[in-house]
Amino acid sequence: MDKIVVHGGERLHGSIKMSGSKNSALPILFATLLTNDKCKMTNVPDLADIKTTIDFLNFIGKKTSKKLNIVIAEESSKLNHIAPYDLVRKMRASVLVMGPLLARLGKVDVSLPGGCAIGARPIDIHLEAFKKMGATIELKEGYIKIFAEKGLTGADIEFRFASVGATENVLLASVLAKGTTRIINAAKEPEIQDLAVVLNEMGAKVSGAGTAIITIEGVESLSGFCHSIISDRIETATYMIATAMTKGNVTLTNVQPEHLQIVIDKLIESGLEIKISNNEINIKWVKPLKPINIKTEIYPGFPTDIQAQWMALMCLIQGNSIVEETVFENRFLHVCELQRLGANIKIDGKNVYITGVDNLSGAPVMVSDLRAGAALVLAGLCANGKTEISRIYHLDRGYDSLEKKFSKLGANIRRIKE
C-alpha cells in the first residue's frame, strides 16, 4: 500500500486552488438516477469516493464518465434496482442510492453497509422516513428490500437528530412522490443546500433548504441539469489550519468563506490573520497563537470533520485546551497516533484535554479514518525529522492531490508507492 512521507519544518507559502466538495458531489451524482436526461457536473474533485460512485452508477445503468473535473451521466439501459455488497461496502454514501431508485422504480435492494471507524452511523432513520412515505421494508439475506409499488406519498417526517444522509435520502425520494413532504429537524449543511439547488434545476419544487424545515412538493418527472459543485469547506479548513501550524502565509482560491464562518472566527480568536476577498482567503501567521477550546456540533456549529485537524493545531500551542466531540461517539482514534509524535493529550469521555508542547517528533503512524489522516499529515508537517504515514487510502477518499498541493506550498512531502 502507498505511504506518505513528510519531513517537517517547512513554512507553507504561496497559493493553491481548492477542489469541489466531495460531500456535495456524491448526493448530486446519485440525483442523476432521478432522470433519463443527460446530466453534467463541473468542479468535481478527483477522489476515490467519486470513482466508486461513478462505478456504482454505471452498474445501476447510468453511463457515467469523468474527464478532469467534469462528470457526464446519461441513461444507457434499464436501471438495476439491486445495489450489491461489493459496491456498498466501499463507501457508506452508497446508501443514497435508496431514495432515487425507490422514487424512480418503486423498489430497491441495498446490501447492509456495515459499521464505520468513526461510529455506528445507523440508517434506521432513513428507513423510518421511507415507511412514513408508504414504503414496505424487509431484511433478507443481508439486503434491505424496500418496496413502494404504488409510488411514494408525501408525509411529515421529523428526524430525532439532524442527519445529513437521511435528509439527502428523503430529498431524493420525495421529489417524485405524490403530494407534499416536510422534513422537520432537517440538516442545514451547505451540501444539503447544493443538492436542493440541483433538484430545483431539474424541475423539483424544494424550499427551505438550509433551515430546519424543508418542504418538497412532488412532481411527475425531472429533467437533466448542468451544475458546478460548491467548494470543499473541509479541505479549505484543513489547509487553513496547516498554514497556522507551520507559521505560513497562504492564499486559498475557489473557496466559499461563508460556509466556514465558525472555523474562521476560531482561528482569528487564536491570533491568526485572515483576509477574505470574494472567493479567496489569505491566511497569515503573525504571532504566537493562543489555545482555543472547541465543541463539535451540527452545522452551523464547529464541524466534526475538522475536530482532528484542530486537535493537531492545539498540540503545538502553548497552554491548555479542550476538544469536545458531540457528533460521533468514536472519533478519537487519532489521539494515540498524535501521542506517538509527542503530543501531550488525554481522553476523558467525549473530551480531549491538550497541553501544548514545543515540538513534535517524526515517527511511523497509521491512518484510522479520513480526517484523522489529515491531522497526522498536518502534525508531520511540523514534526522534527521524518513522519511516515501508512494506510493513506483513507486520505485518497477525501483529499484531491493532497501531497501535490502541499508540495506546491513548499512542504517536504511525497508519496511512496509500494
Same domain? 62 vs 203:
yes
Q: What is the pLDDT of residues 349-406, one digit of tens each?
A: 999 999 999 999 999 999 999 999 999 999 999 999 999 999 999 999 999 999 999 9
Q: Identify whether the C-beta of residue 235 lies closer than 8 Å to the C-beta of residue 18.
A: yes
Q: What is the pLDDT of residues 329-346, one digit of tens each?
A: 777 889 999 999 999 999
Q: What is the pLDDT of residues 47-103, one digit of tens each?
A: 999 999 999 999 999 999 999 999 999 987 789 999 888 888 878 788 999 999 999
Q: Which domain holds residue 278?
A: 3-19+231-416
Q: What is the pLDDT of residue 8?
A: 97
Single out the catalytic residue among 116, 226, 336, 382. Answer: 116
* Spatial separation of the C-alpha atoms in residues 417 and 2, rounded to whole Å: 5
Same domain? 98 vs 203:
yes
Among 171, 201, 228, the domain-final residue is 228
Q: What is the pLDDT of residue 333?
A: 87
Q: What is the pLDDT of residues 118-141, one digit of tens each?
A: 344 568 899 999 999 999 999 888
pTM of the model: 0.95
Q: What is the pLDDT of residue 121?
A: 53
Strands 351-355 and 320-324: antiparallel
Question: Is the confidence at residue 195, as pLDDT, over 60?
Answer: yes
DSSP labels for 125-169?
HHHHHHHHTT-EEEEETTEEEEE-TT--B--EEE-SS--HHHHHH
336 is catalytic: no
Among 209, 228, 247, the domain-final residue is 228
Q: What is the pLDDT of residue 123?
A: 85
Read off the amino acid at residue 197: V
Q: What is the pLDDT of residues 154-173, one digit of tens each?
A: 999 999 999 999 999 999 99
DSSP 42: E
pLDDT averaged over every residue in the chain:
94
Same domain? 141 vs 238:
no
Same domain? 14 vs 35:
no
Same domain? 266 vs 130:
no
What kind and span of H or E run contains 321?
A: strand 320-324
Confidence of residue 1 (pLDDT cuts 50, 70, 90): confident
Question: Is the confidence at residue 115, as pLDDT, over 70?
Answer: no
Question: Number of structural domains, the chain?
Answer: 2
Residue whose C-alpha cell reads 423539483 in the numeric block: 204
Same domain? 168 vs 243:
no
Confidence of residue 112 (pLDDT cuts 50, 70, 90): confident
Identify any residues that bridge with 143 across adjacent strands, giving them in sequence order. Answer: 111, 140
CB atoms within 10 A of CB 346: 12
CB atoms within 10 A of CB 349: 8
